[in-house]
Amino acid sequence: MGGTVLVTGGSGYIAGFLIRLLVERGWTVNATIRNLAREPEVRAALGVPAERLRFFAADLERDDGWAAAMAGCTHVAHVASPFPAAKMPDEALIRPARDGALRALRFAKEAGVKRFVLTSSVAAVAYGHEPLDGGLYTEADWTDVTAPGISAYVKSKTIAERAARDWMAENGAGMEFCSVNPAAVLGPVMSADFSTSIQLVQRMLDGSLPGFPRIGFGVVDVRDLAELHLRALETPGLDGERFIGSGRFMMIEEGGAILRARLGEKARKVPKRRIPDFVVRLIGLFDGGVGQIVGELGRVRATDASHAERVLGWKTRDEGDSIVDTAESLIERGIVKV
CATH of the domain at 230: 3.40.50.720
For residue 201, being part of any structural domain is answered with no
How many domains does the chain fold into? Answer: 1
For residue 45, being part of any structural domain is answered with yes
Return the SS3 of 337: coil
For residue 276, being part of any structural domain is answered with no
| Number of helical H runs and strand E runs in the chain | 12, 10
Which residues make Cβ contacts (< 8 Å) with residue 287, sequence separation at least 6? none
Calculate the average pLDDT of the chain. 91
Find, among 152, 189, 180, 188, the residue nearest to 305 by Cα.
Answer: 180
Mean pLDDT of 191-215: 85
Which residues belong to the active site? 157
For residue 236, being part of any structural domain is answered with yes
| Per-residue model confidence (pLDDT) at position 218 | 94
Mean pLDDT of 135-162: 93
Mean pLDDT of 62-77: 97
Would you tell me how many other CB atoms lie within 10 Å of the CB of residue 3? 15
* pLDDT tens digits for range 14-68: 999 999 999 999 999 999 999 999 999 999 999 999 999 999 999 999 999 999 9
Task: Name the residue range of residue 97's domain.
Answer: 3-195+217-248+301-317
Q: How far is CA 178 from CA 12, 31, 75, 109, in A?
A: 21, 19, 12, 14
- Spell 294-320 as b/e; 16+ CB within 10 A means b: bbbbeebbbbbbebbeeebebebeebb
For residue 70, being part of any structural domain is answered with yes
Answer for the pair 154, 125: CB distance below 8 angstroms, yes or no.
Answer: no
Evaluate if residue 89 carries a pLDDT over 90: no
Angle, helices 196-206 vs 252-263, to 10°: value is: 50
Find, among 333, 152, 174, the residue nearest to 239 by Cα.
Answer: 174
For residue 123, being part of any structural domain is answered with yes
For residue 21, being part of any structural domain is answered with yes
> Any idea what DSSP says for residue 107?
H
Q: What angle do CA 208, 209, 210 make, to 5 degrees?
A: 105
| Per-residue model confidence (pLDDT) at position 63 | 96
Q: Distance between CA atoms of 314 and 329, rounded to whole angstroms?
A: 24
Edge to edge, the sheet with strand 53-57 lists: 53-57, 27-33, 3-7, 75-78, 115-119, 176-182, 242-245
* pLDDT tens digits for range 221-279: 999 999 999 999 999 999 999 999 999 999 999 999 999 999 999 999 999 999 887 88
| Per-residue model confidence (pLDDT) at position 2 | 75
For residue 109, being part of any structural domain is answered with yes
| Per-residue model confidence (pLDDT) at position 87 | 59
